[in-house]
Amino acid sequence: MPNLIIFEEKEVLALGLNKEKRPNAEKVKNYFFDDELETLNCLQTIEHSFSTAEISVLYPGCGTDILTPLLYLERITPRIEQITLHFVDISDTFAMLKTILHEVGVSFADVEGGIQFYWQDMLVRLLFYQQNIARFLANCPEYHIYFEKCFRIMKDRMPEYESVIYEKLVTSGLVISDSGFLDVGLERISVDLRLSAYNEMMVGRKK
């Protein structure tokens, strides 16, 4: 496992959907530091049922991190069949996200607004938005999962941020965050707090 991770954007061709092209576990590890891998080993099954087979996920400030949310999503049981990922960032990291998928052995197809691929047995559509999260939230539809990592400084600049996130979350939706969301009324699901660098990991269900 590396202690130096180099992100090198490449021109990657869309080779189409291929359910048999599963991510290479060893190559996935190359995109995490040793301490991150040790932390991810604490990730256990998250038992939660959705009322629909297709769910949507919002990830603000995603940067180049496409792997962490996918690793969390594959731990949710019963297994989710179809996922739409809404990745939002002020920097254009879309090409790098495609590069990472290619490097770990995942084939993808171009679709309107993004790409589509299989991760394990889940059909995933990734839509990327290069914009400020506040602007995105003003017009975004409801979502089933809110995923957050290393976004504390940004959301601290918006005092009502967590309340807005909660309001946009569907009933019985999930918040998966490495900080905050203690006072918005979520029903907390027990997880290892070491999953958060702040030791305050939150997985919570909207009642």
Does residue 186 carry a pLDDT above 80?
A: yes
Q: Does domain 25-206 have CATH number 1.10.1220?
A: no
Q: Where are the beta strands (DSSP E) in 39-121?
A: 46-47, 54-60, 76-77, 82-89, 108-111, 114-119
* pLDDT value at residue 160: 92
* pLDDT value at residue 165: 96
- As given in the structure block, the two tokens for residue 112 are 């309107």
- Per residue in 101-134, pLDDT (tens digit) is 999 999 999 999 999 999 999 999 999 999 999 9
* pLDDT value at residue 1: 47
pTM of the model: 0.94
Residue 105 burial by CB count (10 A; 0-12/13-18/19+): exposed, middle or buried?
middle
Helices (H), the chain: 25-29, 34-40, 67-73, 94-103, 133-139, 152-156, 161-168
Angle at 194 between CA 203 and CA 171, to 5 degrees: 0
- Per residue in 10-23, pLDDT (tens digit) is 889 999 999 998 99
- Per residue in 130-155, pLDDT (tens digit) is 999 999 999 999 999 999 999 988 88
Domain boundaries, the chain: 25-206
What is the amino acid identity at position 164?
V
* pLDDT value at residue 10: 83
> Which residues 6+ apart lie within 8 Å of 160 measured at CB?
none
- Per residue in 51-98, pLDDT (tens digit) is 888 999 999 999 999 999 999 999 998 889 999 999 999 999 999 999
